[in-house]
């Protein structure tokens, strides 16, 4: 490669890392790993300019165009590595492979540690091996395996990092983790995605960090676990909710076709809306029902407020009514949160949702994230404890706000 091309790549690499560090303050070791690993070698089919943008790059899609594998956004990777707290000499398992993250982990573990990365897709592993070899990370073990079962042959691990959205926390993951070890998981929580850092004490997982990041969907045995489903409400409008929640599609369609009630909460958000993930999670834990309402095309129903897409807005429902958040520009640069409700129960439902928004604003806004404790479902220990209990196929998640 000509010296000028090498210099250009080096400048792009430096600029990307500087941008990431401005977004995500991380440890010296994570920053050094980001500077050491050349991302373009893990994206051979992308341009150099694309490789050094702070964007996720999809490397494989299914027949419908949905992403199956990707090289994640560098700022997201940096935040997850900070959550993982890798130290030299650690034994690491990565579930979901792309190559780039495994190389960063190899930098962090050093020559006395080891990284095993697994993926159920043979083509993904072949690609990861080729990229790791081209970048000089020949000591990383890349294997075809269903990550739902971990990889017991190299267990136990000091750290496990999951880079696919996890609808469940299978027992294999904690069984293969040392006591005192850490695992970072992108969890599905009532339609929300949160990347959560946990410590394992030998009996339960306890969270200590949380970020609003998501990844490609899981494949293999884990894909059969509880996952969000979609209910079409009207043309261009649908509701995403977890399988453990009940909703009558016909009743909700009837509700939204009828009159609405609009209520102002009096709560405002800044333009950056940094507090919105906290509000969404608060509502998901205090509302009896919770999902995400998406509006991709409301041209057929001009009387309905335009809904943000693709992330959607917080929504709750009763047997025959539906309520959801709206955001109206204020006289300044922010937005005011409102509530719109439809159906026979619209006044009560709007009042309840408004009340919870105001409680969050008065008591939770700017405060710490909730704590998530993960218990084996079979043990049934979490049922009698205070907090919001979410039941997964293999685990019970108890969410409490301090």
Largest CA distance in the chain: 71
Active site residues: 72
Residue 129, helix vs strand vs coil = helix
Residues 6+ apart with CB under 8 A from 183: 159, 160, 161, 162, 173, 174, 177, 197, 198, 200, 205
What is the CA angle 17-23-24, rounded to 5? Answer: 80
Whether 95 contacts 43, CB under 8 Å: no
HSE at residue 382, side-chain half, CA atoms within 13 A, is 23
Cα dihedral 30, 34, 36, 42, rounded to 10, equals 130
Question: Nearest CA to 372 among 166, 205, 192, 172?
Answer: 205
Residues 6+ apart with CB under 8 A from 187: 165, 166, 169, 193, 194, 195, 196, 372, 397
State the sign of the Cα–Cα–Cα–Cα dihedral 369, 375, 376, 379.
Answer: negative
Is it true that the peptide bond before 375 is cis, omega within 30 degrees of 0?
Answer: no
Whether 95 contacts 62, CB under 8 Å: no
């Amino acid at each position: 490669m000509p010296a000028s091309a090498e210099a250009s790549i080096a400048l792009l690499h430096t600029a990307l890392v500087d941008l990431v560090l401005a977004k995500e303050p991380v440890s010296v070791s994570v920053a050094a790993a980001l500077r050491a690993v050349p991302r373009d070698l893990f994206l051979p089919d992308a341009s150099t300019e694309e490789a050094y943008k702070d964007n996720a790059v999809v490397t494989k899609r299914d027949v419908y165009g949905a992403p199956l594998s990707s090289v994640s956004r560098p700022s997201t990777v940096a935040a997850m590595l900070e959550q993982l707290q890798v130290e030299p000499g650690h034994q690491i398992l990565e579930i979901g492979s792309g190559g780039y993250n495994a190389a960063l982990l190899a930098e962090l573990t050093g020559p006395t540690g080891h990284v095993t990365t697994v993926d159920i897709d043979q083509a993904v592993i072949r690609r990861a091996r080729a990229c790791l070899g081209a970048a000089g990370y020949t000591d990383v073990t890349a294997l075809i395996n269903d990550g739902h079962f971990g990889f017991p042959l190299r267990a136990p691990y000091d750290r496990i990092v999951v880079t696919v959205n996890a609808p469940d926390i299978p027992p294999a993951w904690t069984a293969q983790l040392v006591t005192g070890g850490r695992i970072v998981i992108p969890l599905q929580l009532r339609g929300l995605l949160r990347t959560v850092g946990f410590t394992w004490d030998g009996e339960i997982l306890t969270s200590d960090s949380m970020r609003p990041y998501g990844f490609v969907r899981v494949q293999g045995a884990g894909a059969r676990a509880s996952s969000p489903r979609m209910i079409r409400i009207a043309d261009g409008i649908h509701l995403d909710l977890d399988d453990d929640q009940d909703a009558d599609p016909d009743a909700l369609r009837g509700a939204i076709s009828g009159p609405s009630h609009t209520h102002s909460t009096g709560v405002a958000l800044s333009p950056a809306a940094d507090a919105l993930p906290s509000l969404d999670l608060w509502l998901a834990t205090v509302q009896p029902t919770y999902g995400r309402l998406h509006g991709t095309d409301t041209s057929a129903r001009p009387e309905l407020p335009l809904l943000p897409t693709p992330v959607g807005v917080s929504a709750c429902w009763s047997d025959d009514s539906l309520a959801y958040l709206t955001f109206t520009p204020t006289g300044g640069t922010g937005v005011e949160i409102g509530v719109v409700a439809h159906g026979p129960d619209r006044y009560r439902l709007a009042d309840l949702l408004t009340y919870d928004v105001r409680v969050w604003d008065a008591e939770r806004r700017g405060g710490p994230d909730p704590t998530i404790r993960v218990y084996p479902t079979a043990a049934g220990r979490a049922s009698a404890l205070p907090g919001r209990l979410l039941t997964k196929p293999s685990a019970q998640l108890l969410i409490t706000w301090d």
